[in-house]
Amino acid sequence: MVGRPQLSIKGLLLCMAAFGFGVSYVRNTIRMRVAERELVLLRQVAGVLDESQPDEIAAVRIGSDEPLTWRARVRIPNGTPYRLAYSSLWAASTAGPEWFAAQAMPPGESVVTVRVMRDPRDDRWKISAVIQNTSGVSRIGTTLPDELVTVFRGSYDVMSTGVGRQTVIRPAGDSLRILDERYFSGTSLLLSGDDGPREDLVGVYAELQPDIGPLPKPASANNKTP
C-alpha cells in the first residue's frame, strides 16, 4: 500500500510564500497598469511637456471643457525673445493667417489660453489670449467683426491641425503654430497644393514667433516669401 505524500511544515511555508508572491505580483501588475492609464490621462488633461534642450521651444495641447476655449502649455528658452501672435482670419489665396496682435512670451513654462467670447464689460465679441506663468499673468484681446462672430456662434465643421496631446519641439528661432482651428462649410478647405484657402477661412490661430520686427503680413500663396 502506497502511503500518502506528506507535506512538511517547511514545504507548506514555501508553498504559502510562493502563492502569496504570485498574488502580490498579479495585484502589483494590475495597479501599475491602472497607474499608467491614469498617468496618460493626467498628461492629456494637464499637458505635461517632455524634456527639451536649452536651445529649443516646446508646446503641448491641454484639454479644455469650456466652449470656444483652447489651451496649451509652452516652454520658451532663455536668450531668445518670443511672442504669441493670434488671429481668427486666414484670407483667401494667402499662405497664412492675418495676425491681429501679439503678446511677448516670458522664458520658461507658461500656460496659454485663447478664447472667443463676449466681453461682459462692453458686450462685444473678442478673441483674447491669456499667458500665465510663475512671473504673473498677461492678457491681450481684439474685437471681432460681426461676420466672424456669426461663424463662431453658428454650427460649422472644425479641423484641428495645430499642436496635439504629444509634445512638439522646434529649434529656438523657429515659429511654431500651437493652435490651428479651421472653421469651414465645405468650400473653405485648404487645397492640397500651395494655393491657400479658396475663400476667407475663419478660425482660431495662435503661433509662437521670434519677437523680431513687426508682425508678418500674409504673403500670397503663390509667392510665400514676404
For residue range 98-144, list pLDDT tens digits in order: 999 999 999 999 999 999 999 999 999 999 999 999 989 999 999 99
Q: Residue 56: enclosing H or E segment and its boundaries?
A: strand 56-62
Mean of per-residue pLDDT scores for the chain: 85
For residue range 180-210, list pLDDT tens digits in order: 999 986 554 554 445 677 888 999 999 999 9
Phi, psi of 168 (to 5 degrees): -110, 130
Cα 109 off chain centre by: 13
Sign of the CA dihedral running 184, 206, 70, 139 = negative
pLDDT value of position 163 = 95
Phi, psi of 57 (to 5 degrees): -105, 155
Strand order through the sheet with 136-143: 136-143, 124-133, 108-119, 69-76, 56-62, 168-171
**44 burial level (CB within 10 Å; 0-12, 13-18, 19+):** middle
Predicted confidence band at 31 (pLDDT cuts at 50, 70, 90)? Answer: confident
**Ranges of each domain in the chain:** 8-46, 56-210
Closest CA to 142 of 105, 88, 106: 88
